[in-house]
Structure 1
């Protein structure tokens, strides 16, 4: 990750409170603390993985069927099609969780402001679903669980980049050097990093296709899901 976003001076205008953004952050934190941080046995881990997205399992069951294909000897906790949603609320570590929630915290409120509460929630879930599908189609035989909100938050990043590229951000780079740069530069670098990593990274533990799938979904969906009259590229540099 080339940087961690810290803060943007970009107040909301059409909503009084970023309720959905904060609710999503709270849900991710609560699920991690209550269910994942206490998983100490193999059985506990298998139970959690029952909510993860496993490409081979999803394709074997079909998008409208229940799973009969078991990975790790575990039993699916929900129908496989629903793991396209449940996977995005699980995280592999506290750092994994913190990184995703930092992006959602900084950028989610303004995207929610541009769309409204209900449409933003639908947007977030749809970006996560498309991210999961992109990963599944890229590695259809994989039995490795996909977890994390990265695909959904990538969609939020894409929407923010198209809405507010001139807003100035504070970010931590390399990894703790503070910089104040425009969202267009910061998020453009982040997007380029995802695309570069997709083709050239040796890190097999990061689902780069999910990131890119979420980015693509967010860039397209924001065109149709923002409120009427909300322009793209609207803010002057501050």
Structure 2
């Protein structure tokens, strides 16, 4: 287990990672504003209402929702801004803060927002496809953040990143090793939990989001590199 601290890649086009910080603020405000941290019952209600519930989205399972503030397709976006706890929120926002600024630099503000949300939607759809009858709600920015990590791995594989390994040891290592190792861990974790898709962590969403971000960025990589070198 590791915690990212800082990377070595400076901004070249934009002056400020405005969209990244807006996303972070929105996630924090959503967590505080919903009161999801006050009790398990409140969290469950908001997760079922604003999160992605596979059986509800696919209509393959009879799931009665007492609280349904938005149509289920809209939860493919709203789930990205609701978290199950402080650690869930802070870990996602830390990864986003460390890696998203350079991806936003390469894409530009508007296109980066589109990439982020698209990766989140793809991540949720992967989760739904693999557990179409589940009543376990999916919440959190992990899928979208995973898309940012995938994009960073394609754009800046040789960047150096400071991480806190095992939460104790500071190490400076290449981004491709950090993010490649992270991705392999998600795949292995998903494979080990594949018989129990409701184990608690949506590893499949992490994998789907990462592949979406990496795939989109790979297709656009020459244009993005040209923007950074202009």
Aligned partner of 2:216 in structure 1 is: 221
Aligned partner of 1:141 in structure 2 is: 133
| SS in structure 2 at match of 1:179 | strand
| C-alpha RMSD of matched pairs (Å) | 2.3
Shift of 1:176: 2.4
Q: State the alpha-carbon separation in 1 of the partners of residues 34 and 28 from structure 2.
A: 10
Q: Which runs of 5+ in 2 are unaligned?
A: none
Contact 2:63 2:135 in 1 (8 A): no
Query: Hey, which bits of structure 1, 4+ residues long, moved more than 6 A?
Result: none
Equivalent positions of 1:1-238 (< 5 A) are 2-37=1-36, 39-40=38-39, 42=41, 45-60=44-59, 70-71=63-64, 73-201=65-193, 204-225=199-220, 228=223, 230=225
Q: Which runs of 5+ in 1 are unaligned?
A: 62-67
Q: State the alpha-carbon separation in 2 of the partners of residues 42 and 17 from structure 1.
A: 39
The TM-score, its normalising length taken from structure 1, stands at 0.87
Q: State the alpha-carbon separation in 2 of the partners of residues 44 and 144 from structure 1.
A: 13
Question: Relative to 1, partners in 2 of residues 1:163 and 1:211: Cα closer, same or farther, differing over 3 Å?
Answer: same
Q: State the alpha-carbon separation in 1 of the partners of residues 115 and 20 from structure 2.
A: 12
Question: Relative to 1, partners in 2 of residues 1:14 and 1:220: Cα closer, same or farther, differing over 3 Å?
Answer: same
Q: State the alpha-carbon separation in 1 of the partners of residues 173 and 123 from structure 2.
A: 28
Contact 1:39 1:45 in 2 (8 A): no
Instruction: State which drifts further: 168-177 or 45-54.
Output: 45-54
Shift of 1:75: 2.4
Contact 1:107 1:160 in 2 (8 A): yes
Instruction: State which drifts further: 44-53 or 82-91.
Output: 44-53
Deviations for 1:125-173, whole angstroms, at most 9, x for unmatched residues? 0000000000000000110110011100111001101111111111111
Question: Relative to 1, partners in 2 of residues 1:115 and 1:213: Cα closer, same or farther, differing over 3 Å?
Answer: same
Contact 2:36 2:42 in 1 (8 A): no
Contact 1:29 1:97 in 2 (8 A): yes
Contact 1:3 1:173 in 2 (8 A): yes
Higher helix share: 2
The TM-score, its normalising length taken from structure 2, stands at 0.90
